[in-house]
Amino acid sequence: MKIHPPAITVTPAIIALLKSAVGESCVHTDEETIERCASDETEDLRFPPEAVVMPETTAMAAAVMRIAYEYRIPVTPRGAGTGLSGGALPVHGGIVLSVEKLNRILEIDSRNLMAVVEPGVITQELQEKAEAVGLFYPPDPASRGSCFIGGNLAECSGGPRAVKYGVTKDYVLGLQAVLSDGSVVNHGGKLLKNATGFNLTQLLIGSEGTLAVITKIILRLLPLPRHRLTLLIPFPDLESAAAAIPAIMNAGVIRSALELIEQAAVKATEAHLGRSLPYSDAPAAPPWLPARLTYCLPIRRRNSRSSGTCAGQSAKPSNRSPSIKKRIPWCPATTSSRSYAGSRKSQTGTASQPYATATRATAICM
């Protein structure tokens, strides 16, 4: 292949080559598309590309990369543009290769607990498809309703559930990718153990598109958890809330997420939603609360939409803590079958005996 000097710009001749390779409908130079792909959610940064190409297949993506390689044109892969680290910013101009048309869920393999998807699949859509057949894809970045799986791999996205389940890299078993010269490579596969050779699958995860353009992904799924509940625990100050976190972990409580919410954030949320949230003035939790979290586990029946109950209200004291009955007359926690985030409706059951109001409210959402 002949290598040309670096292109100063994406010329009309190169645009014509791109259109002949992937079709006119996949190549965009209009102002609206250029402007949309000039930035992501990173604040105050804008780098307009000269062309945006939206391939529909791996072969199309490879053709684009071959043209760019031959004429030495910079290529920036792009997902949904929800990232905050500038990974999708075309800082050198050139071509933005958007994967938004590579958006098919190719397979949900229930027998082997795996999914095969293209990079333009929205994370939440995959989760919902998996849950419909009793499976679970745990990574939950904050933008899961709009971000792409491919972008999750490029950034190695996590989310609150990383505390228990890990991040995106922990669920990628294999992938197909296009290298800078247009070569198509396949790494890993539909298998759990693959100890042969270099682990090139994990090399590409988190590389922000600098090493290759990912075009197909094989993901590991889990059985869908039977029970889910949100437990809201008030604390009098940040110090006691912080101390509760290692206490929860050392107590052996298997939690999917731990989120610390300061009073200012709770008040801002109330103002935004136009409604009150439990413990927004945060009753002060007793100083021994972290030690008894093992006895305050929320319980929810399977497929029930009613609010959970706290085992600490009626459970017998443990042999390890003979005074637990005297120390824990009730559980000062709010339980919910859904979290308050987003537009989902919540159902709550709130303890009826408040402690004294704290001057500085802090809560951990578990």
Is the CB of residue 77 less than 8 Å from the CB of residue 68? no
Q: How many CB atoms lie within 10 A of CB 275?
A: 9
Q: What is the mean pLDDT of residues 3-14?
A: 74
Residue 133 reports pLDDT greater than 80 = yes
Rg (CA), the chain: 25
Q: Does the pLDDT at position 122 exceed 90?
A: yes
- In this prediction, residue 241 has a pLDDT band, given cuts at 50, 70 and 90, of confident
Cβ atoms within 10 Å of 101's Cβ, excluding its own: 17
pLDDT of 184 strictly over 70: yes
pLDDT exceeds cutoff 80 at 127: yes
CB 60 within 8 Å of CB 26: yes
Tell me what percent of the residues of the chain surpass a pLDDT of 90. 55
Q: What percent of the chain has pLDDT over 70?
A: 75
Which of the two residues, 335 and 54, has the higher pLDDT score?
Answer: 54
For residue 332, the model assigns a pLDDT of 40
The pLDDT score that the predictor gives to residue 217 is 98
Give the pLDDT score at 15: 96
pLDDT tens per residue, range 63-90: 999 999 999 999 999 999 999 999 999 9
CATH architecture of 105-223: 2-Layer Sandwich (3.30)
Three-state secondary structure of the chain: CCCCCCCCCCCHHHHHHHHHHHCHHHEECCHHHHHHCCCCCCCCCCCCCCEEECCCCHHHHHHHHHHHHHHCCCEEEECCCCCCCCCCCCCCCCEEEECCCCCCEEEEECCCCEEEECCCCEHHHHHHHHHHCCEECCCCCCCCCCCEHHHHHHHCCCCCCHHHHCCHHHHEEEEEEECCCCCEEEEECCCCCCCCCCCHHHHHCCCCCCCCEEEEEEEECEECCCCCCEEEEEECCHHHHHHHHHHHHHCCCCCCCCEEEEHHHHHHHHHHHCCCCCCCCCECCCCCHHHHHHHCCEECCCCCCCCCEEHHHCCCCCCCCCCHHHHCCCCCCEEECCCCCCCCCCCEECCCCCCCECCCCEEEEC
Q: Is the pLDDT of residue 346 over 50?
A: no
pLDDT tens digits, one per residue of 291-333: 333 333 333 333 333 333 333 333 333 343 333 233 323 334 4
- Of the pLDDT bands very low, low, confident and very high (cuts 50, 70, 90), residue 4 is low
366 pLDDT band, cuts 50/70/90, is: low
Q: At what angle do helices 12-22 and 58-71 cross, to 10 degrees?
A: 160
Of 366, 118, 364, the C-alpha closest to 243 is: 364
pLDDT value for 7: 57
Confidence bin at 339 (pLDDT 50/70/90): very low
pLDDT digits 0-9 by tens, 147-175? 999 999 999 999 889 989 999 999 999 99
What's the confidence (pLDDT) of residue 253?
78
Task: Point out the least confidently predicted range of 26-30, 116-120, 266-270, 356-360.
Answer: 356-360
CATH 3.30.43.10 domain span(s) along the chain: 12-98
CATH number listed for the domain at residues 12-98: 3.30.43.10
